[in-house]
Amino acid sequence: MTETIPQPRTEAAADQIEFEAAPESAKPGLLVLAPLRIEANAVRRGLTKSTSHVLHTGMGATRARKSVGKSQQNPFGAMVVMGTAAGLGDDLSPGDLVVASEVSDGETTVALPGADLLAAELRRAGLTARAGRVITVQKLVKSAERVQLAADGYLAADMETAALLGAADGRPVAVIRAVSDGGFGPGMVGGGIAALRSLRKAAPVAEKWAAACRERTVLLAGPRSFCAGVERAIEIVERALEMRGTPVYVRKQIVHNTRVVADLEQRGAVFVDELDEVPDGATVVFSAHGVSPAVRDDASGRGLAVIDATCPLVSKVHAEARRFAKEGYTVALIGHAGHEEVEGTLGEAPSSTVLVQTAADVAELNVADPAKVAYLMQTTLAIDEAADVAGALRDKFPQMRAPGSDDICYATTNRQAAVRAVAAEADLVLVAGSKNSSNSVRLVERSERTGTAAHLIDGATDIDLSWLSGVSVVGLTAGASAPPAVVSEIIAALSGLGTVTVTERVTTTESVQFGLPREVRR
Ligand code: SF4
């Protein structure tokens, strides 16, 4: 599957504003269009690169068009409109920055999909910035109009941006407006010192944004995102909320993803660390990572209504631990200390199970009977690293028993193979997932082992623009607990930096599904 997402066209003024096309050999930089001279000067003071240029366009749409139309500019690769604006929200203060997610002149609206990325970069630079809708008006707005525009969802109003966007002529374009005292023209200067200061500080960030702009290919790893165990766990909480009403308590994060948890929280789920935070008689869901028998006993003793969302593939490892322990084996559990799944598995046979994280742990391992050792694994380990530890165990305990089938689950295996395939072709890999998601972290490590830089991000706003400088091919995947929508959000954000061609590399397809527990069946 290949799909191309072009830059938004800004035809409204393109016929009136002409720029020379950038020659192939040139290193086109940033062009900043600033309506007022003081705005242009503030931006100039902040710029750091010789390839950056500022054009003072004049106040108001007519002057802006005339001024820009007359100029034959240096070649540029990306354009930013920068200036002051009236802030329309009560929560905006002078100096706050609004990055336009769309610009309207009341008739035509142009969407600028990279706004969130740029706003996040401005925040990382210490500025107060947010993405939102900007409207270009014909004349100064009075307070009643401002209230109406704010009610219509606009964050800032100016008098030029809609007329200037066409100058980008298909190149990446962004808009950064600094909130002044709320007025326009010379009257806003006194109250606009903070705004001008913010524009100066925003200038190097605009350069960073321009350096990240280029046409690029996104290689989508397939499979990616939700696995069957995560889909099941989320559906269990959703159904529990529907069938039993709010609140429904969930012990630990249902899956390790901040978006999923925040979404369920909004719908009435209450996430707790331990059962003593759950009122007697309430409904509690155990997370996909599983719990130890001690937690089950505690819940039962408290009379809690338990719904178990433990992934069946984790339950399989628990059953193996119980079986090996019953047969008198010492179980070497390969996994990461402190991970909830590992805690749960260790709890199945605590006196018979030892955790080994590395081959060095194996060297120090002493067991009662070296002829009666078995190993198990956390389901979300890196396949090759886990194999190294298992190999060290086998060298030390040649009669060691293995689990009946692989413990590292199909979803972990498939996502690691898929990310490896895209990492081999990519300049950079982005992995959507939360920091506490083991399988997501493993995808970053898997990419890095192929020699390709990789970053774990919860969403598009975590992308540092400096990662993208010089990057033409981005590999993109998502951990088993990361929602598919995050991948779409990241692609949309990248399309604000230049035309994006999305190609999917599918290494295998998945059809695994797990049934729901009886408590939430309809
Ligand atoms: S990653 Fe594997 S073990 Fe974990 S929930 Fe998904 S399918 Fe189950």
pLDDT in tens, 439-467: 999 999 999 999 999 999 999 999 999 99
Q: Which atom of ligand 1 is nearest to the CA of 512?
A: 7
Per DSSP, 74 falls in state P
User: Which residue's CA is minimally distant from atom 7 of ligand 1?
Assistant: 229
Report the candidate in 292, 344, 343, 285 with the shortest Cα–Cα distance to residue 309.
285
* Distance between CA atoms of residues 310 and 318, nearest Å: 10
User: Which residue's CA is minimally distant from atom 6 of ligand 1?
Assistant: 229
- Burial classification of residue 111, based on how many CB atoms lie within 10 Å of its CB (0-12 exposed, 13-18 middle, 19 or more buried): middle
Residue 501 — very low, low, confident or very high, per pLDDT cuts 50/70/90? very high
- Burial classification of residue 451, based on how many CB atoms lie within 10 Å of its CB (0-12 exposed, 13-18 middle, 19 or more buried): exposed
List the catalytic residue out of 39, 102, 121, 341: 341
Q: If you measure from the C-alpha of residue 141 to the centroid of ligand 1, how many angstroms do you get, rounded to a whole number?
A: 55
Q: If you measure from the C-alpha of residue 17 to the centroid of ligand 1, how many angstroms do you get, rounded to a whole number?
A: 55
Helices 438-449 & 410-423 angle (0-180, nearest 10)? 30
Position 19 scores a pLDDT of 36
* Distance between CA atoms of residues 387 and 314, nearest Å: 19
CA 44 to each of CA 49, 53, 60, 184, 199: distance values in angstroms, whole numbers, following the listed order? 10, 8, 21, 21, 9
Q: What is the pLDDT of residues 102-127, one digit of tens each?
A: 999 999 999 999 999 999 999 999 99
Residue 143 — very low, low, confident or very high, per pLDDT cuts 50/70/90? confident
Q: Ligand 1, from 232, 314, 318, 379: best to mutate by most atoms within 8 Å of Cβ?
A: 379
Strands 2-5 and 500-506: antiparallel
Query: What does the pLDDT average to over 328-339?
Result: 97
Residue 24 — very low, low, confident or very high, per pLDDT cuts 50/70/90? very low
SS3 400: coil
CA 369 to each of CA 326, 329, 330, 374: distance values in angstroms, whole numbers, following the listed order? 15, 8, 8, 11
Q: If you measure from the C-alpha of residue 278 to the centroid of ligand 1, how many angstroms do you get, rounded to a whole number?
A: 26
* Distance between CA atoms of residues 174 and 82, nearest Å: 9
Q: Is the pLDDT of residue 483 over 90?
A: yes
Q: Which atom of ligand 1 is nearest to the CA of 480?
A: 1
Position 182 scores a pLDDT of 52
Query: Is residue 161 a contact partner of residue 60, using CB atoms and an 8 Å limit?
Result: no
Query: What does the pLDDT average to over 372-389?
Result: 96
Q: What is the pLDDT of residues 215-268, one digit of tens each?
A: 999 999 999 999 999 999 999 999 999 999 999 999 999 999 999 999 999 999
Q: If you measure from the C-alpha of residue 124 to the centroid of ligand 1, how many angstroms do you get, rounded to a whole number?
A: 34
User: Which residue's CA is minimally distant from atom 8 of ligand 1?
Assistant: 229
CA 454 to each of CA 101, 124, 294, 304, 320: distance values in angstroms, whole numbers, following the listed order? 27, 20, 39, 43, 35
Q: Is 414 in the pocket of ligand 1 (CB under 6 A)?
A: no
Is 11 noted as a catalytic residue in this protein?
no
Q: Is the pLDDT of residue 183 over 70?
A: no
Q: If you measure from the C-alpha of residue 407 to the centroid of ligand 1, how many angstroms do you get, rounded to a whole number?
A: 10
Q: Is 230 in the pocket of ligand 1 (CB under 6 A)?
A: yes
Residue 26 — very low, low, confident or very high, per pLDDT cuts 50/70/90? very low
Query: Is residue 438 a contact partner of residue 339, using CB atoms and an 8 Å limit?
Result: yes
Report the candidate in 73, 72, 36 with the shortest Cα–Cα distance to residue 56.
36
Q: What is the CA radius of gyration of the chain?
A: 28
Please give the residue that has the higher pLDDT: either 121 or 189.
Answer: 121
Q: Which pair of structure tokens corresponds to residue 215?
A: 């046409």
Position 188 scores a pLDDT of 54
Sheet holding 473-478, edge to edge: 2-5, 500-506, 216-222, 473-478, 428-432, 453-457
Q: Ligand 1, from 226, 230, 378: best to mutate by most atoms within 8 Å of Cβ?
A: 230
User: Which residue's CA is minimally distant from atom 5 of ligand 1?
Assistant: 229
Listing DSSP states for 70-117 in one string gives H--PPPEEEEEEEEEEEE-STT--TT-EEEEEEEE-SS-EEE-TTHHH
Q: Is 443 in the pocket of ligand 1 (CB under 6 A)?
A: no
Residue 192 — very low, low, confident or very high, per pLDDT cuts 50/70/90? confident
Q: Is 254 in the pocket of ligand 1 (CB under 6 A)?
A: no
